[in-house]
Structure 1
């Protein structure tokens, strides 16, 4: 067979997705025509398609030695080197190709990819633009340019390019970029429509339904989100990010159809190295602390890889300060408003401000103008708005404040600041409060906890060094008034009988927690369980679970979300808060205690399952921290059956609430600053982060 025919056959096999056969034919052609460049080049391409990267590099370097000015060979070699994460070598190869063919569109596109991988975002964008201008029909270059614009915080430019490409041809990647750019501009309904149209023209692409699921979640449409993630999984069963989202949304909807199997698959995916499982949602799984650490570390590593290519990683230089210089402290959150984080921290921040602390607050969510936010702004020495900034922009704003310590209040709980913190805008970075687990991130130095919520035996499951407070790690606002609620019947409660309450979010209501709640209801026939109304059909699903467990569904009473003061007053009707097992009540437990409702819990072996026990421990009511589910049910039955037991618990809580450290925010501020001073002292004296007790 003439060499040209052999080469055509090899190229066709590669195009048909049969690289193994192509590699075999190419190897034979190389043996027969050892001085011909194309058999060697195609051999390299076939090996690349098979994932045999090292062998592909050898073949392509040999091809390049036969014809050093073959830009096609150099482009292929650059692609393989990038796939092998050999960024410097890829950049060298593509710069060589550009010297040979300075206006060649494929060369420019490949060079843009190398620059992108090297972290030179703006140069990558400019090079993609040159490639697209050199060959306007080269849609790949336009799409790379659109992605670069989006990563550089220019979603409108990305949208413009994506729409231009779509005018020429339906393209799944263009629809995906269009959806992402619209979502970045908060045009969520339009973004969802873009995903649907993309699915219509490219039904085999899993990224489009996955993106639709993410957008539907932002739109507070969990049913739509679950359906979209399920479609993505049908297309690609190995898409663990979609699996994680589907499981977490099913938990929000209290939809337990096949949930045990899906949860098992999720834990298996984490064990197998999945890096796209969101750590926050994974906290609701029946996973160990060790599994949680693996999940967080894999996710954090993926974030670190993602921010390198297009962030143009700044090299921040942090000034060395004298050991006794005043501290500049920053706190970052998307919850600085009428949000659980804001409600927990506002009095603490006011106490810090009264102590003269140079307090910098970095808000990553739009202002809500709430009274809580106004108090936070008044307490802050400086209020920084980071909304809609790209990671590098956020990091630059933080670095310009010249902080000693930055405390991330949300970590994987939302706020989109982790990529910025991965760029190290502050010399010391701390995980505290809203994310009850390890960050798994090498850019977070410390986690702030207490010995009850994070005992020494669990430190091995945290990537951070632990800084222990001598009190409960969770602050609160002791200035809140607890008013009088409407009468019971106006709240949907019966006129008499015990009222058990659990105002936790619906995703915390796992099967174990509900079974012990239902056992309590079966043992106290005149009692009701008061729950927070959940999304869509979650309330109906819970009532169905109750019926299946032999409990009258009408004994589940649901409270719609209310303004904070109204919600807080409802606790006056509650006899006992029944905590959830895997993922405790956190802010809600603090609310209940402040409003006079005792919280019954059983501590687990993860941070998330020990928060309520920490609150009880530091309150001085350790009798509410029971050993296991059987003790939980037994205690709650006694409270429900005996009025005197209920009255004694409430009276004891009323006394202890005002005596202990739990709601002493001035003392909390003093202890917290002592920890930060110790962190700063270690850093200023050249010592590495270490446990602080």
Structure 2
């Protein structure tokens, strides 16, 4: 029997030269034989005293790292650095191994050493310095140490300004730290560079211009994804039941997942067969179990690459494939670029155009995305009746929170704003501080997301003349406790231009009035969409001055707030019927789209 190339190489395992060994191990690795490649290096190292043996030691460390053998990989990288202390890549990789082991501070120290060595004669290569700084920036960002993260990325950009990905992270870090203006002058980087490097997510809260959001999404997709479109599915199907596939990594107690249970449960299983292509983490909650039970078929795709998933979808003959990520974290656009289904759409995960040519439609409603704004979407609108954001039933028995436990007086007018901190911007915070000045006994209740951002907001409030007791920060808590706090508030303040979405649903569930401002983009019309569907348009404004005035008026009209809460209580009783109507309008729109395909 004829031997494969890899087997022939294994038959002659002794190599005098390192380059021959490396070529041999590459063949083994390409054949998936990582352990054999590692053994080949170990055998060579056991007899070699070559001056460049550190290369083989490094490669051993890299193989062990790939194989997930972190303790052994750490030992090899340390051995390599003993032989060649200036090998920056070994130090960087060792840092990654330490980070993976939960030893973040040790990783940061190693990368800092790589950076500092660049100041020495014949020191670290500039590219290695940049790599180390970028890892430091990423890890500090994960730790919410945004000041240190920003310093690392600024230093990286000072060495190599042409790094759109790094500039993108620097911009979003400043948003999360509430540093305004977000676009701060940097050497050799223009405002245009910053604009073109802004992530689509960051742009949603930076600007209400739909054309700018479209441009930003296009630019991001072009620089991030290089997928070549293919059509694994070349024709439509004629199934008795229409097969709908949902692709998501958020089918859990995630903001998107929390919106879906009632919507999915309302599917007509006589007419539709519902599939999940699921790569969500297990959170072992009752809610996740409920979500999973809504599907006729659930396919786990965590360890499958995009092509394998797309082939699976094509083999399952899915009629309509729904992406629940868009351009949000965890997205797997490579699946959709292969066109495994005749119709492909996007829903909930990213409330803006994806600018991805492989999506046929976006699920929305006529308030959120009126026809005159649809021109700024690559995807065609698939309109639902009511709000496109499902109003789920919530059977949780909430703890009754008291004003006393948070230090609120009985006559305080409590304004809660528990949205993500990166959605706060200069204009919005100015409106909030203006309300605090105008509304007697008003208190603004915010999330204490991290020390850096909380300190920054307190400082800005002080500069605006806001008394310390008027700004209250509370740490993040469980979902039920968070709902108890919402229920305690007199009014909830929406963010603009990036409205609350899942949070607005929670606010409505709690029976708390929410004041919003609707703009020119779908993301700035989310809360308005929900309020409009509930006939509560009196809580919708269309500019920040009107937003301020409405909140101030409500602060002086406790009876008006009580009336709105009573109306909400009545509306909440019909939520189940509303959700069923929403799902059925989706099914009807899909059937029409399939018919016209």
How has the CA–CA distance of structure 1 residues 188 and 424 changed in structure 2, closer, same or farther, with 3 Å as cutoff?
farther
Normalised by the length of structure 1, the TM-score is 0.70
The aligned counterpart of 1:386 is: 301
Q: Is 1:451 paired with 2:366?
A: yes
Q: Secondary structure at the match of 1:299?
A: helix
Q: Hey, what's the Cα distance between the residues in 2 that align with 1:397 and 1:323? A: 19
1:280 to 198, 201, 209: 201
Secondary structure of the residue aligned to 2:277 is strand
Q: Residue 586 and residue 548 in structure 1: after superposition, are their counterparts in 2 closer, same or farther (change >3 A)?
A: same
Matches within 5 A, 1:31-70: none
Q: Which moved more, 1:619-628 or 1:559-568?
A: 559-568
Asked if residue 333 in structure 1 is aligned to residue 259 in structure 2, the reply is no
Number of the residue aligned with 1:589: 504
Mapped partners of 1:167, 1:395: distance in 2: 47
| Distance in 1, Cα, partners of 2:234 & 2:274 | 18
Distance 1:263 1:296, change over 3 A: farther
SS in 1 for 2:550: helix
Shift of 1:640: 0.2
1:486 matched to 2:410? The reply is: no
Instruction: Tell me the equivalent position of 2:435.
Output: 520
Q: Do the aligned residues in 2 keep the contact of 1:448 with 1:469 (CA within 8 Å)? A: yes
Query: 1:387-446 CA distances to partner (integer Å, 9 max, x unpaired)?
Result: 465544554555554432322212222114234433444443322102111111123222
1:664 aligns with 2:578: yes
With over 3 angstroms needed to count, the CA separation of the structure-2 counterparts of 1:254 and 1:139, relative to structure 1, is same
In structure 1, stretches of 5+ residues that fail to align are: 1-102, 116-120, 688-693
- SS of 2:221 mapped into structure 1: helix
Q: Secondary structure at 1:613's aligned position in 2?
A: helix
2:355 corresponding residue in structure 1 = 440
1:633 alignment partner in structure 2: 548
**1:259 aligns to 2:182 (yes or no):** yes
1:678 lines up with 2:580 in the alignment:
no
Structure 1 stretch displaced more, 595-604 or 471-480: 471-480
Match of 1:225 among 135, 149, 171: 149
Match of 1:345 in 2: 260
Residue 304 of structure 1 corresponds to which residue in structure 2?
225
Alignment check: 8 A CA contact 1:341 1:434 kept: yes
Q: Counterpart in 2 of 1:213?
A: 137
Aligned match of 1:12: none
User: Is 2:81–2:87's contact at 8 Å kept on the other side of the alignment?
Assistant: yes
Q: Secondary structure at the match of 2:247?
A: strand
Aligned mates of 1:396, 1:237 — CA distance in 2:
41
Task: Give how far 1:324 is off.
Answer: 4.7
The alpha carbon displacement at 1:382 in A equals: 3.0
The partner residue of 2:167 within 243, 267, 278 is 243
Number of the residue aligned with 2:330: 415
Residues 530-561 of structure 1, C-alpha deviations (whole Å, 9 max, x = no match): 11222123222212211111211221122322
Coordinate RMSD, CA, aligned? 4.0
Paired position in structure 2 for 1:607:
522
| Greater percentage in helix | 1
Match of 2:216 in 1: 295
Is the 2:208–2:524 Cα contact (8 Å) retained in structure 1?
no
Shift of 1:526: 0.8
* Deviation at residue 507 of structure 1 after TM alignment: 0.9
Listed as ranges, the matches of 1:460-475 within 5 Å are: 460-475=375-390
- Give the secondary-structure state (helix, strand or coil) at the position aligned to 2:358: coil
Q: CA deviation at 1:252?
A: 1.6
Which residue of the partner structure matches residue 5 of structure 1?
none
The whole-number CA distance in structure 2 between the counterparts of 1:246 and 1:155 is 30
Q: Which residue of 2 aligns with 1:199?
A: 115
Deviations 1:443-471 (A, max 9, x none): 32221111111111222221222211122
* Correspondence for 2:458 among 543, 546, 564: 543
Whether contact under 8 Å (1:270, 1:291) holds in the other structure is no
Q: Contact between 1:478 and 1:663, CA under 8 Å: does it hold in 2?
A: no
What is the alpha-carbon distance in structure 1 between the residues aligned to residue 133 and residue 297 of structure 2?
41
Structure 1 residues 278 and 186: CA distance shift in structure 2, 3 A? farther
Bigger RCO (CA 8 Å, 6+ sep): 2
Q: What is the DSSP-based 3-state SS (H/G/I as helix, E as strand, rest coil) of the residue aligned with 1:635?
A: helix
CA deviation vs aligned residue, 1:589-610 (integer Å, no higher than 9, x gap)? 1111121111111111122211
Q: Compared with structure 1, are the counterparts of its residues 139 and 424 closer, same or farther at alpha carbon in structure 2 (3 Å cutoff)?
A: farther
Structure-1 residue corresponding to 2:232: 317
Distance 1:401 1:263, change over 3 A: farther
Quote how far apart the aligned CAs of 1:488 are: 0.8
Q: 1:675 to 1:571 in 2, by over 3 A?
A: same
Deviations 1:208-230 (A, max 9, x none): 22233223334454444333222
Shift of 1:386: 3.4
Give TM-score, length-normalised by structure 2: 0.80
SS at match of 2:274: strand
User: Which of 403, 414, 422 is residue 499 of structure 1 equivalent to?
Assistant: 414
Moved more, 165-174 or 496-505: 165-174
Residue 297 of structure 1 deviates from its aligned partner by: 1.5
Secondary structure of the corresponding residue to residue 291 of structure 1: helix
SS of the residue 2:327 aligns to = helix
Provide Cα deviations, 1:323-363, integer angstroms capped at 9, x if missing partner. Answer: 45422222223322222112111221222276674322233
CA distance in 2, matches of 1:675, 1:650: 33
Aligned-pair CA distance for 1:300: 1.6
Are the counterparts in 2 of residues 602 and 627 from structure 1 also a CA contact under 8 Å? Answer: yes
Is residue 353–residue 359 contact of structure 1 (8 Å, CA) maintained in 2?
A: no
Kept in 2, the 8 Å contact 1:578–1:601? The answer is: yes
Distance 1:637 1:588 in 2: 22
